[in-house]
Structure 1
Amino acid sequence: MDTHPDTRTATAVVQTGTRRMETRQIPIPPIGPEEALIQVEACGLCGTDVARYRGEMSLRGAVVPGHEPVGVVVEIGDEAAARRGLRRGDRVAVDPFLPCWRCRSCVGGSYEFCTGWGDAAHSLGAIPVATAPGLWGGYATHLYVHPNAVLYPLPADLDPATATLYNPLGAGIRWGVDLTGVTVGSTLLVLGCGQRGLACLIAAKAAGAAHVIVTGLPADRHKLELAGRFGASATVVTGRDDLASVVRELTGGSGVDAVVDTTPGSTEAVTQAIGLVRPEGTVVLGGHKGRVVPDFPVDDVVLSAITIKGVRGVGTSAYQRAIAMLTERSKDLEVLRSHTFALDEAEHALRVLGGEVDGERPVNVVLRT
């Protein structure tokens, strides 16, 4: 890489519109005392990436997608190095959200709700390339580290592609354990067996859950097989199996202690969750629907004193615990990775994860640079 600050460029995949991707050379900026530069080694793909690619979520101009990056620090300012305890050559994961560290949400630790940037996007993969220096996503050879960014050190011997699981596994810990209250002996129903649904299962079993039930579509048999491997008490094929009967059998008719809905688009899953959780149980909603839930059973929620929690993002504590789990169980957890693609195959990778390529059975899809 040319070391002259005026000639260095990063290769980045840029989304310019619905199903429109192009490769660009983006100048690498000089790195100031509080800044850093990461050479991206791997970036996990998320359902949000697929939704933006398809036009199901809006774009605010052209962006470099990717909010699950792992890489090596190749430049870091003296002040940033001292404050972060990092140096060149350290491997890190990057938190998707960029806090302002001034607003009420950031001060309280919930920086996914940061208001300090106004209406401007403040998460990786969503900040326009028009916002200098443009390297705001993981689908690139390099990633700019803003002084406010949150980095998580990773072990040097942890495979970068496996390390990208810090994001879905962090969601599993946050959604499937922290927000549900799952602990030793609990029962949990996970609706959906994508990588975050499977992560909820893994986290709940690690927390001591007695029974975890996981659902999936007929096309998800390979994911349900993984669910069985990771300790699911039962796997249920939606539209074929009787989920209510499985819940009654495993809970003695009382209903599960908690439900996590990770399914995208399905409003039926919300009413199903409310119908299968026990009185005073908890329902966590983690799947974007894009529409209202018709005939929402509000009386059931009221009369059974059900707690419903929406969730956005993960948070520092869950990410740190996810990295600790990856460090301890990397060989066990790397089986979640079904596909690895090169950076110039990003559009194909998105179509694979989105189920648009016949014969492919995706779970965790990763770009390697």
Structure 2
Amino acid sequence: MDASKIAEIVRETLRNQKLLEEESEAASSPSTSVSSPVSSGAKSGRAAVLVEPRRLEIREFPLRAIGPDEILVKVEACGVCGTDVHCYKSDPFGLAPNVLGHEGTGEVIEIGADVAMDSVGKPVKVGDKIVTSLLEVSPDCLIAKYNPAKSNLSDDLKVYGLLPDEPNNHFNGYFAEYLIIRPGSSFFVVNDMSVDLRCLIEPAAVVCHALERAKSCGGNRLNFRSRIVVQGCGPIGLLMIAVLRTHGVNNIIALDGNPNRLEMARSLGADETINYKEYAGVDEIAEKVKSLTKGLGAHWGFQVTGVPVAHANLYKMIRRGGGICEVGHFVDGGECAINPHRDICSKEITLVGSWVYNSFEYPNAYHFLQRAERIGLPVSSIITHKFPLDQIDEAFQVNLRQEGVKVVVEA
């Protein structure tokens, strides 16, 4: 090897060493604790503010700089949940003025210096698609402290879209162009899912949690041969049918009064459908259920309507030794009358409630949706309407008129 070749190798080695030193200095130098919104090119954004019951206003707010443990997300879309509709109608939680929307997803456009991974340890970077789950509950909450698996029952439970407005942060819900993920939040990178499926992860977590609640009762009532009634074929009811079918249940009866929803229920795994409007009353409906279940009634029922009388009716469709999971009442819809002797005691009915979900159930929901599509269940077809943010009022009206199934607002 001649001298010129040796000199070239030495120069290349020195250049590489210098680059390594520069990278090392950059990594070890103090990071700025706050990143500027200028880096994303956005200085303000619009949000749909629930000003008072039945009144939404599109307002523009300045985008503040995010902190070292926050993330700025460009919202892509968000489903309209039944809870959003209840808030729209009557503001039952007293949150107005605030920005609703919790079934959302978007793209990361800024990351605080201290954020490196999502809630399951997956690296997160600008450009990633994410969904959010629950915010961390207060360390003073005794329920979460002594039973972390029940943190969903904390009085301190917080979800984006169900948070009060803040003077320095108006982007607390997904019915906006931006969302700021705050410290203590659980969030997940979901790059390999379509935007439609990402909008369904939150409601899918609801039904995954309900399934686990029913399974927690033991016995053999949820298996391949189980005969299950799902009462109510709105978005949650339809996803409940899909998760049961994906779980291996082969005998599912869907009960609703909307023919289009019952048809969709069949496509998502229901074997039989019952339109309650075609029957004189609950006794006739119960006899129809018994005729489909060897004369005994269903092993298990999932009540997903949010209508109190529907809860009372479901007992009549369940066999002795069966069970019911109440999923539908996320707000106080009133009371209903049951007969403790006939409905519960003499049948030894097992009754469980299902409330929201836990953050760790999000990955379960994610895999459920992927598996459902893989076996041919068209879960994305639940989304029937899409509206831009400017038309969010019409999105809510379509939902109130029950003209579609899942309505989505795109930012």
Q: Under a length normalisation based on structure 2, what TM-score does the superposition of the two structures give?
A: 0.80
Choose the corresponding residue for 2:348, options 301, 305, 309.
Answer: 305
* 2:126 equivalent to 1:88: yes
> How far off its partner does 1:204 sit?
0.5
Structure with greater Cα Rg: 2
Q: Distance in 2 between matches of 1:255 and 1:101?
A: 45
Distance 1:274 1:138, change over 3 A: same
Q: CA offsets, 1:27-80, max 9 Å, x none? A: 222222211111111101111111111116242230101011101111112322
Choose the corresponding residue for 1:26, options 32, 45, 61.
Answer: 61
Q: CA offsets, 1:211-246, max 9 Å, x none? A: 1111112xx211111111122121111131442233
Farther off after superposition, 1-10 or 308-317: 1-10
Q: CA RMSD in A?
A: 2.4
> How far off its partner does 1:285 sit?
1.3
Equivalent residue runs for 1:194-205 within 5 Å: 194-205=234-245
**3-state SS of 1:110 partner:** helix
User: Structure 2 stretches of 5 or more lacking a match?
Assistant: 1-35, 216-221
What is the aligned partner in structure 2 of residue 140 from structure 1?
176
What is the aligned partner in structure 1 of residue 310 from structure 2?
269
Q: Distance in 2 between matches of 1:368 and 1:145?
A: 19
Equivalent residue runs for 1:3-42 within 5 Å: 3=38, 8-42=43-77
Q: Under a length normalisation based on structure 1, what TM-score does the superposition of the two structures give?
A: 0.89
What is the aligned partner in structure 1 of residue 404 from structure 2?
362
2:135 and 2:184 in contact (8 A); partners too: no
Choose the corresponding residue for 1:152, options 188, 202, 214.
Answer: 188
2:242 and 2:379 in contact (8 A); partners too: no
Farther off after superposition, 178-187 or 339-348: 178-187
What is the aligned partner in structure 2 of residue 72 from structure 1?
107
Distance 1:131 1:315, change over 3 A: farther
Identity rate of aligned residues, in percent? 25
Amino acid in the other structure paired with 2:316: G
User: Structure 1 stretches of 5 or more lacking a match?
Assistant: none
**3-state SS of 2:310 partner:** helix
Equivalent residue runs for 1:1-369 within 5 Å: 3=38, 8-55=43-90, 57-82=92-117, 84=119, 85-100=123-138, 103-107=141-145, 108-115=148-155, 117=156, 122-130=158-166, 132-156=168-192, 158-175=193-210, 177-181=211-215, 182-217=222-257, 220-241=258-279, 242-264=284-306, 266-288=307-329, 290-294=333-337, 296-299=338-341, 300-328=343-371, 329=373, 332-355=378-401, 361-369=403-411
Q: Distance in 2 between matches of 1:167 and 1:83?
A: 16
**3-state SS of 2:365 partner:** helix
Amino acid in the other structure paired with 1:138: Y
Q: Distance in 2 between matches of 1:37 and 1:112?
A: 25
1:110 and 1:315 in contact (8 A); partners too: yes
Farther off after superposition, 203-212 or 164-173: 164-173
Amino acid in the other structure paired with 2:259: R
Q: Distance in 2 between matches of 1:100 and 1:38?
A: 24
Farther off after superposition, 89-98 or 105-114: 105-114
Distance 1:79 1:130, change over 3 A: closer
Distance 1:350 1:6, change over 3 A: same
> How far off its partner does 1:110 sit?
2.9
Q: Distance in 2 between matches of 1:184 and 1:237?
A: 25
Q: Distance in 2 between matches of 1:225 and 1:238?
A: 14
Instruction: Count matched residues.
Output: 355
Amino acid in the other structure paired with 2:212: D
Distance 1:340 1:56, change over 3 A: same
> How far off its partner does 1:247 sit?
1.7
